[in-house]
Structure 1
Amino acid sequence: MKKWKLFILILVAFLLIFIFVTAFPTMTIDSKQPASQKAEININQEEAVKHLSEAITYKTISYQDREKFDYKEFDRFIDFLQHSYPSVHKELDVERINDYALMFRWEGKDQSKKPVGLTSHYDVVPVLQGTEENWEQAPFSGTVIDEKIWGRGTLDDKVGVIGILQALDYLLEEGFKPERDMYFMFGFDEEVGGDLGASAMAETLKERGIQFEFVLDEGGAIVENMVPGVKSPVGVVGISEKGSATAALSIEGSGGHSSQPKSRTNIGRIAGAIAKLEETQFQEDLKGPGEDLFEYVAPEMDFGMKYIFSNKWIFEPIIEKVLLQQPASAALIRTTIAPTIFQAGEQYNALPEQASAVINLRLMPGDSLEDVKNFIEKTIDDEEIKVEVKGSEATKVSSVEGEPFQTVQQAARNVYDEAVIAPYLMFAGSDAKHYDSVSDNTYRFLPVQITSEDLNRMHGTNEHISAENYINAIKFYVEIIKVSNQ
């Protein structure tokens, strides 16, 4: 046999082996989605919508300057809850922490089981001054029109507070009794860190020796057109949230007249440092919660995408390159760098004696503040520039194996039977991080189906929610309480 024929035969053999080795996992990959177990849940929509509508009218606004809090509005909101949900306040133990954080305990039959906690917050961000007229409906009107409820908090996060209370009201009327203790914690300062709300409630629970099986907070949602190759909406459950750090870069040196500049000025050196960081970036790596996301959605993809993600061991470099093309997916696989403040100079013809820049970084699980500082110093390679890094590292990564995560999955599938429910890494912050110390697992999921436009409205103009979405959120909370107690 001629050598070229032998070479072709060997090449064909290797090609067939490659096809078999890569096609096999593609064809045999199993879905990680539990079968939907839809139950008949008849929510009184008129009453539920009325309650959320009124809840929006209370201006429970969080400000960075806590002196600006209007606590009369917070008192009015709490009075509204007591008036609207008398059965909940009668049947459950209610406690106020730091006057405005609300903690409800529903005693279960079996005290040997670890409790489960659901948490949300009722404070909201301010409406940016000058944008009020851009709202189709007044931001604190709670207007209901065309089956939509309008106003600040309809998505973030009075929908969670009122949704949970409506679910409790429904279950109490149904005569439901939990097997385990259930806790419901409502913070009042989440938008400014949660130090007096969720953090204080978590510390109180820690002092009492309470350890949750899991705590569920707001976070990911059910998003349409989220993952390429997946036609169904994808419900993402945060199993960790990225850390948030601030890096301050500064340099001091002689100034002088702009007519005789040095070859490297203070501004130029800081600008050069920023340019180097943006050009270099942190190393990408599809691991942890990001990897978990694609393991859960891969079985639901069309064949081409399924083939690639089922063989990550071969295609990972290609996958990572594709993910880096979009900011949202790039943030899933690396610590991000975002220069936000640059300060230098006051006079057009005078070289500034000082220059500084501030960079916001969102840290991947496993990246420490020390790692970040070392990376910055090594990358900019300028001993004259002082680097200070402060902030928080990523939260712990909760498990996707076992009952806790499956409980969240099952409850979501029972309401949204077409959705693919998967873990992911949350980029923003939430109160969930405060409960890490008192819970085996902390998950982040807002049980509503939204679009990219809805995401922009959460802290922006024209925040609203459809009545259908809101009712489904209530049904989810009913389901997760029931599934948790099976």
Structure 2
Amino acid sequence: MKKLKFSLIIIGSLLLVFIIVTMFNALTLESRQPSPDYFNGTINEDHAINTLSKAIQFNTISYQDRSKMDLIEFDRFITFLKESFPIVHEDLELEKVNSHALVYKWKGTDSTKLPIGLTSHYDVVPVLEGTEENWEHDPFSGTIADGKIWGRGTLDDKIGVVGILEAAEHLLKEGYQPSRDIYLMFGHDEEIGGDEGAASIVSTLKERGIKFDFVLDEGGAIVENMVPGVDQPVGVVGVSEKGSATAELSIEGSGGHSSQPKDRTNIGRIASAIAKLEETQFPADLKGPGEDLFEFVAPEMSFAMKYVFANKFIFEPVIERILLEQPASSALIRTTIAPTIFHAGEQYNALPEKASAIINLRLMPGDSLEEVKDYIKKTIDDEDIKVTLKGSEASGVSDVDSWHFKTIQQSAKNVYDEAVIAPYLMFAGSDAKHYDSIAENTYRFLPVQLTSEDLNRMHGTNEHVSIDNYLNAIGFYMEVIREADKETMK
């Protein structure tokens, strides 16, 4: 009886300690959000709105087959920029790389400081053939209606090009001169990889020994209802982007008549391999940018959610299990597989001699192509299936504690004071990856507040941006330039 009583006392004491420690962790979790220093700049709204509207009207479309690209239209767009932003083109040095990628150098007063770079792209994806009639306004009309600007590029990513140039034009008009050099860099082929745009800009600057403190590109945005337990919109700044790879599974063997099939056919074996990969999946681990995201948003959560994330060392398996329930959050914590193409057979009564499948993978930072290939081969466990893998690994992970990130976070907070600004892992690709080799840090952020429906419009039908969002984007770019100067003056 005494032993039982003693055991209950020990258990009770341990439980009390557990409650005290975990409650203390939750109650002392400090916010990682800066106080807003509200934006008070002046913007010529009519000029800004009309300029983006006109920019949309240029069919600067990128195609995988580059011979289809109408480069005359790209030339016309560059001339349009010169006419729309006369002060920028008078005061800044402009260099064209491969004739259509643009590099503006805004010289600062302190040459000892590393420059910063603001980059976007002005090419857009085509409108899917047959969907033109589904648009409320013509995709290249730049229509201004219902408090919105409509058309391809309003979100991806002429808004960035025009928004950055509007910010520079306004600051120059006010007589502003930055302390450090600022480069404004605009690619013309981001939608097809950026090889002749951003990649060539990087090669050019690298030859001159130019290194950036940080480069800011498009990427995450301010999204409503993004994180459970957080009522405010969350602005996610990409600090890394997942790698993208294509795996091909293929098998060859005797075919024959379908009336006398083997127990395991070529189609069946490839299908079985895919099924094994989907059933097994890559291991999940809340680390890196995914972990950083929740460290920044946890202090802003409801208490129950805050309690869980403040004690992640205890509840991590539960958190991971919850995140795996939804595709978007699942992709945040593991390398993903997506079978997209299957090739086999030509006739209904003939067994195919060959079968193959294509799988698209998005790699987590830290998962190498070689490791991913080995994992696939081990999982499918079929020596007759040939596995080939090609692609790019994840980009480097940028610092979330640096003044670079804090500059972007503060600038966003100055314009969107109610938003929670946090780092995250970007699933798609951008030009930012090219700048990794010449920048201390690269970040990815589109400074607009979007709904989930807006996100689907970026490469889809009825792409548009609200005028308020667009003006806020201009304000954000003005703030980034000025906030970066504050670091110079320290």
TM range (shorter): over 0.9
SS at match of 1:219: strand
Partner of 1:248: 248
TM-score, scaled relative to structure 1: 0.99
* Code of the aligned partner of 1:437: S
CA drift at 1:111: 0.3
Could you tell me how far apart the structure 1 residues matched to 2:296 and 2:60 are? 38
Match of 1:402? Answer: 402
How far apart, CA to CA, are the structure 2 residues paired with 1:123 and 1:39?
Answer: 30
Distance 2:39 2:344 in 1: 62
SS at match of 2:465: strand
Matching residue of 1:390:
390
Distance in 2 (CA, whole Å) between partners of 1:26 and 1:123 is 46
CA distance in 2, matches of 1:8, 1:385: 58
Q: Tell me, what secondary structure is at the counterpart of 1:441? A: strand
The residue number in structure 2 matching 1:90 is: 90
Give 1:278-357 correspondences, 5 Å limit. 278-357=278-357
Distance (Å, rounded) in 2 between the aligned partners of 1:24 and 1:449: 34
Structure 1: which 5+ residue stretches go unaligned? Answer: none
Matches within 5 A, 1:214-293: 214-293=214-293
Give the alignment's TM-score, normalised by structure 2.
Answer: 0.98
CA distance in structure 1 between the partners assigned to 2:141 and 2:328 by the alignment? 33
Give how far 1:10 is off.
2.1
- Give how far 1:5 is off: 3.1
By how many angstroms is 1:25 displaced? 1.1
**Corresponding position of 1:190:** 190
1:425 corresponds to which letter in structure 2? L
Give 1:46 deviation, angstroms: 1.1
Number of the residue aligned with 2:160 = 160
Q: Deviation of residue 6 (structure 1)?
A: 2.9
What is the deviation of 1:43? 1.0
Cα deviation 1:75-128 (Å, max 9, x = unaligned): 111111011101100000000000000000000000000000000000000000
Displacement after TM superposition at 1:365 (Å): 0.3
Corresponding residue number in structure 2 for 1:43: 43
Report the secondary structure of 2:367's partner residue: coil
Distance 2:39 2:464 in 1: 27
1:434 aligns with 2:429: no
1:370 aligns with 2:370: yes
Read off the aligned partner of 1:151 and give its amino acid letter: G
1:322 maps to amino acid: I
For residue 280 of structure 2, what is the amino acid of its counterpart? T
Distance across 2 between alignment mates of 1:255 and 1:169: 68
Contact 2:125 2:459 in 1 (8 A): yes
Aligned residue number for residue 126 of structure 1: 126
Paired position in structure 2 for 1:9: 9
Indicate conservation of the 8 Å contact 2:155/2:463, yes or no.
yes
Query: Structure 1 stretch 20-29 or stretch 448-457: which is displaced more?
Result: 20-29
Aligned residues: 486
The aligned residue for residue 117 of structure 2 is: 117
Which secondary structure state, in structure 2, belongs to the residue aligned with residue 221 of structure 1?
strand
Superposition deviation, residue 3 in structure 1: 3.7
CA distance in 1, matches of 2:402, 2:343: 50
Structure 1 residue 402, shift from structure 2 partner:
1.9
| One-letter amino acid matched to 1:272 | S
For the residue of structure 2 that corresponds to 1:186, the secondary structure is: strand
CA distance in 1, matches of 2:177, 2:144: 34
Q: Secondary structure at the match of 1:440?
A: strand
How far apart are 1:21 and its partner, in Å? 1.1
* C-alpha distance in structure 2 between counterparts of 1:446 and 1:115, whole Å: 21
Alpha-carbon deviations, 1:448-474, whole Å to 9, x = none?
Answer: 000000000000000000000000000
Using the TM superposition, give the Cα deviation of residue 7 of structure 1 relative to its aligned residue in structure 2, in angstroms: 3.0
Cα deviation code 1:415-441 (max 9, x no counterpart): 011111100000000000000011000
> Which residue is 1:445 aligned to?
445
* Cα offset, 1:237, TM superposition: 0.4
2: distance between equivalents of 1:402 and 1:484?
Answer: 12
Opposite residue 51 of structure 1, the aligned amino acid is T
CA distance in 1: counterparts of 2:59 and 2:68, whole angstroms: 12
Q: Which amino acid aligns with 2:407?
A: T
Provide, for residues 206-250 of structure 1, a one-character-per-residue CA deviation record: whole Å limited to 9, x for no partner: 000000000000000000010001111100000000000000000
Partner of residue 210, structure 1? 210
Separation of aligned partners in 2, 1:169 and 1:134: 36
Inter-partner Cα distance in structure 1 for 2:260 and 2:384: 21
Moved more, 36-45 or 97-106: 36-45
* Shift in Å, 1:8: 2.7
Alignment map for 1:49-68 (pairs within 5 Å):
49-68=49-68
- Partner-residue secondary structure (3-state), 1:378: helix
Amino acid at match of 1:327: P
In structure 2, what residue type is equivalent to 1:303? F
- Aligned partner letter, 1:321: R
SS state at 1:485 partner: helix
**CA separation in 1, counterparts of 2:391 and 2:208?**
29
Q: Distance in 2 between matches of 1:394 and 1:53?
A: 35
8 Å contact kept, 2:39–2:475: no
Residue of structure 2 equivalent to 1:380: 380
- 2:414 is aligned to 414
What letter corresponds to residue 265 of structure 2 in structure 1?
T
> 1 CA distance for matches of 2:351 and 2:341?
19
**CA displacement at 1:47 relative to structure 2:** 1.0
Output the CA distance in 2 between the equivalents of 1:168 and 1:194: 24
Q: Deviations over 1:142-185 (max 9, x none)?
A: 00012100000000000000000100111011110100000000
